[in-house]
Amino acid sequence: MKKFEKKFIGKGSRVKSLEIVRLTISEVALREALENDLTDFKGSKFLVIEVASLKKADKYGRSHTVYINKKLE
């Protein structure tokens, strides 16, 4: 069975009346991800992030979470 590690890097919320989710990621988390979490694909580097909706919005009204999902070897 494949094992994954989720590294949470931010949160977001749906923009009112649009199909857009606005994300907020701190500079520190972004720099760390760019230094440590890039994926190589055919000689190019990519930062792969996932956005998932929360079961319930948090106290700030954020309805989505943002994370890097890395496959463990």
What is the per-residue pLDDT across 10-27, written as a single tens digit (0 to 9) for each? 999 989 888 899 999 999
pTM of the model: 0.74
What is the Cα–Cα distance from 19 to 4, expressed in whole angstroms? Answer: 28
What is the Cα–Cα distance from 42 to 44, expressed in whole angstroms? Answer: 6
Give the pLDDT band (50/70/90) at residue 2.
Answer: confident
